[in-house]
Structure 1
Amino acid sequence: MTTRAVTPTASDSGIGPHPDGRAAVEIATEAGRLLLTHRAGLAEPDADPTRIKAAGDRLSHEFIVAALAERFPDDAVLSEEGADDRARLDADRIWIVDPLDGTREFGEMGRTDWAVHVALVEHGRLTVGAVAIPALGVTCSTGDTPIRPAPLRGSPKVVVSRTRRPEPVMAMATALGAELVEMGSAGAKAMAVVRGEVDIYAHAGGQYEWDSAAPAAVARAAGLHVSRIDGSEPVYNQENPWLPDLLICRPELAGTALEVLAR
């Protein structure tokens, strides 16, 4: 586990320790270990990165789904790599999984900014989240105990994609006089805020529930602001899992960030 620099305590967030939280951490962490072993094949002289990335997605998906079925046989699962069983819409408990978040970064030896997401939604509410960053040997979860950070001094840091920089996000960064930090996957970006490495992660332009469920749960448990970019609550286990935008940031920056993002 990792210590993280965030503001309030987990008890202030409505998400905290949960009896199934340990299972989420163990499953996400073990999936990450399997991916690291599989990824070592990229170092082979005749390695095919496309094949290795696709096989990694399948490997992690199959492990996580089997592990959840063994521990929680009555629960529904929504995974990026699996068929969408609409029976989940009537389930009281559903696990939302991204077996390999940041497939592009996973396929580049030496990159650490990819993740594994495991989240639990109960009666429409996020209650458990675990985000493994396997290449760093770190798993952040809703069961961790956050610490209070030092006051923000100077310009905030905004984490952005290497390749896609939506205009609303860039306008927000400009308005805040922010320093830009490039990073890959959504999970890695969100956990950079949780861990106090950056101050804001804003996404606009397209995501699904599995991209944000676990990161949102962990960030909220850490006392961070979590919302859509219009300030509304992200809602999970919807018929259409498209959930295109997200804001995770230090609470004291949320007002300005939301004001600019809404323009």
Structure 2
Amino acid sequence: MPEANTNSLQEDLELLVTAALQGGKIALSYFGNSPKNWTKEGDSPVSVADIEVDQFLASKLREARPNYGWLSEETEDDLARKDHETVFIVDPIDGTRAFLNGRDEWCLSLAVVKNGRPTVGVIYCPVRDELYTAVSGGGSYLNQEKISVSARPSVTGSYIAGPVSFLEKEGVKSEQIRFSPYLGSLAYRFALVACGKLDAGLARARARDWDLAAADLIISEAGGQLVDLSGSTLYYNKTRTNHPGLVASSAKLFKRLQGISVED
């Protein structure tokens, strides 16, 4: 049986922040230098930078917390993580396509999840020098300044990021919704909701645990929510790691958006 978790949330946060900053340096050493890359299952790109950052994070985090399980986009999932009540859920580079195309919104997404829900979350965008952090019950921060979600109560005039297909939905244009330019990282899209730069963020079905776990906590601690289209809470470290269509926003704005579903 895995040993009991005796680490505090603050200790776990400090560990994730250190790992994210160091991992970001590794990724930056490849950024803009045409790193070797290839296409993996699902027609998704991966690069040597993703793999090196993943290996670094796995070594640093698992050595520090050998009693935690491990789930990462770039590590083969053997389901041994399900034997642990506490797991690391990591995306070494969220937004690899953006990374390879020289865009600046890619990030590292790291979370500690206990009994299916995140307790610590870190999203680090190295090029923009933005570090988003949260622990359960402790609020959310961007570069150590407290953040909160937008207080906009109405869909009309709201600033939203999500699938282009959303623009084509009946009623969207009549609400005069402003649509954000494309963001190549889903975790970063949701981080912008947490700090109020976006009123809401939408995601198609099939987002995975590593895209969401850190952002989920950061949004929640900023006073918002990341939920499915029925308003249900998300749970992580299950056998299946994919999720349905999602909305990140304040609870009040979610009720206004709920009738405009995100297509698969």
Structure 1 127/169 Cα, relative in aligned 2: closer, same or farther at 3 Å? farther
- AA aligned opposite 1:138: E
Q: Is the 8 A contact 1:200 1:248 kept in 2?
A: yes
Farther off after superposition, 238-247 or 61-70: 238-247
Could you say which residue in structure 2 is the equivalent of 1:27?
19
Q: Is the 8 A contact 1:132 1:140 kept in 2?
A: yes
Q: Is the 8 A contact 1:77 1:88 kept in 2?
A: yes
Residue 261 of structure 1: CA displacement?
2.1
- AA aligned opposite 1:19: E
Number of aligned residues: 239
Deviations 1:167-219 (A, max 9, x none): 49955744643100122110121111122211110112321111111111111
Q: Is the 8 A contact 1:201 1:247 kept in 2?
A: yes
Give the fraction of aligned pairs with identical amino acids, expressed as a percent: 24
Could you say which residue in structure 2 is the equivalent of 1:214?
214
SS at match of 1:112: coil
Structure 1 171/102 Cα, relative in aligned 2: closer, same or farther at 3 Å? farther
Deviations 1:98-157 (A, max 9, x none): 111101100122x11111110111122211110111111111011444345785397110
Unaligned regions of 5+ residues in structure 1, if any?
A: 1-16
SS at match of 2:90: strand
- AA aligned opposite 2:88: W
1:117 is the counterpart of 2:148: no
Query: Which has a greater percent of strand?
Result: 2
Q: Is the 8 A contact 2:149 2:195 kept in 1?
A: no
Could you say which residue in structure 1 is the equivalent of 2:89?
96
Residue 84 of structure 1: CA displacement?
0.7
Residue 87 of structure 1: CA displacement?
1.6
CA distance in 2, matches of 1:171, 1:236: 33
- AA aligned opposite 1:177: Q
- AA aligned opposite 2:57: I
Could you say which residue in structure 2 is the equivalent of 1:199?
199
Structure with greater contact order relative to length (CA < 8 Å, sep ≥ 6): 1
CA distance in 2, matches of 1:48, 1:155: 42
Structure 1 78/148 Cα, relative in aligned 2: closer, same or farther at 3 Å? closer
Could you say which residue in structure 2 is the equivalent of 1:68?
61
Structure 1 runs, 4 residues or longer, greater than 6 Å off: none
TM-score with structure 2 setting the length: 0.81
- AA aligned opposite 2:101: E
SS at match of 2:11: coil
TM-score with structure 1 setting the length: 0.81
CA distance in 1, matches of 2:66, 2:105: 32
1:48-67 matches, cutoff 5 A: 54-67=47-60
Could you say which residue in structure 2 is the equivalent of 1:142?
134
Q: Is the 8 A contact 1:172 1:261 kept in 2?
A: no
Structure 1 124/169 Cα, relative in aligned 2: closer, same or farther at 3 Å? farther
CA distance in 2, matches of 1:173, 1:60: 40
Could you say which residue in structure 1 is the equivalent of 2:261?
261
